[in-house]
């Protein structure tokens, strides 16, 4: 019989579980149960099939050439491994995932840069009790009063006071 295929890669399920975000936990659990089911089924089957005691059959069966013929054919039989249709699909999936992951990392890094810029601005701000109104308007542009749109004090709609 043909030997078995490539060995399975060991997966650290604990580390994997840590990396799963909470909103995908259901999918992860489904995957794990499926994998465990498949592994259990695999382990329930012994690796080599039961040995056939040809000598016993040779003495027992009356028909002369039958056992020998069976034995010859049996030994010559090659069982093919089942064809693997899914691995290429998985590989393409992985390539796509890598691409989208790199795009996400880029966007994430841009976001981090923006956050850090704002954090720097807050850290380097002068304390509030040393600011003038112009300083306040520079640091927080949304506090600037629009004196063109509302020319009379308080320069903003009364409802916003």
Partner 1 sequence: MLSRLVLVSGSALKGSGPLGAGLVHASRSLHTSSQSLAPVPPLPEKGGKVRHGLFPEELFQLLYPKTGVTGPYMLGTGLLVYLLSKEIYVINHETIAAISIGSVIVYAVKKFGPSVAAFADKLNDDKVAKAQEVKDLAMTNLVQAIEDEKKEQWRTEGRSMLFDAKRNNVAMLLETNYRERLHTVTNEVKRRLDYQIALQNLHRQMEQEHMIRWVEKSVVGSITPQQEKESIAKCITDLKALAKATQAKAAV
Q: Give whole-number Cα distances, 34 to 5, 38, 83, 87, 92, in Å.
A: 21, 6, 21, 17, 22
Tell me which residues in 51-80 interact with partner 1 (CB under 8 A).
52, 57, 60-63, 66-67, 70, 74, 77, 79
Nearest one of 41, 18, 43 to 28, comparing CA atoms = 18
Min dist. Cβ of residue 16 to partner 1 (A): 5
Among 1, 64, 158, 161, binds partner 1 (CB under 8 A): 1
Residue 138 interacting with partner 1 (CB under 8 A)? no
Q: Does 9 bind partner 1 (CB under 8 A)?
A: yes
Q: Which residue, among 41, 8, 14, has the nearest Cα to 28 in the 3D structure?
A: 14
Nearer to partner 1, 74 or 155 (CB): 74
For residue 67, the tally of other CB atoms under 10 A from its CB is 19
Does residue 96 interact with partner 1 by CB under 8 A?
no
118 binds partner 1 (CB under 8 A): yes
Q: How far apart are CA 53 and CA 21, in angstroms?
A: 55
Q: Does residue 29 bind partner 1 (CB under 8 A)?
A: no
Which residue in the set 23, 122, 151, 153 belongs to the binding site for partner 1 (CB under 8 A)?
122
């Amino acid at each position: 019989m043909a030997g078995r295929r490539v060995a399975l890669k060991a997966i650290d399920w604990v580390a994997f579980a840590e990396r799963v975000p909470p909103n995908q936990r259901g999918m992860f659990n489904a995957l794990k149960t499926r994998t465990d089911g498949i592994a259990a089924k695999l382990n329930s089957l012994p690796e080599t099939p039961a040995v056939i005691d040809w000598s016993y059959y040779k003495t027992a069966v009356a028909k002369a050439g039958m056992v020998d013929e069976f034995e010859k054919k049996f030994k010559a039989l090659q069982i093919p491994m089942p064809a693997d249709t899914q691995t290429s699909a998985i590989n393409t999936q992985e390539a796509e995932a890598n691409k989208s992951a790199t795009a996400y990392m880029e966007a994430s890094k841009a976001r981090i840069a923006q956050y850090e810029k704002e954090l720097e601005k807050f850290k380097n701000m002068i304390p509030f009790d040393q600011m003038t109104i112009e300083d306040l308007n520079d640091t927080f542009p949304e506090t600037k009063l629009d004196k063109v749109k509302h020319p009379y004090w308080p320069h903003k709609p009364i409802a916003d006071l």
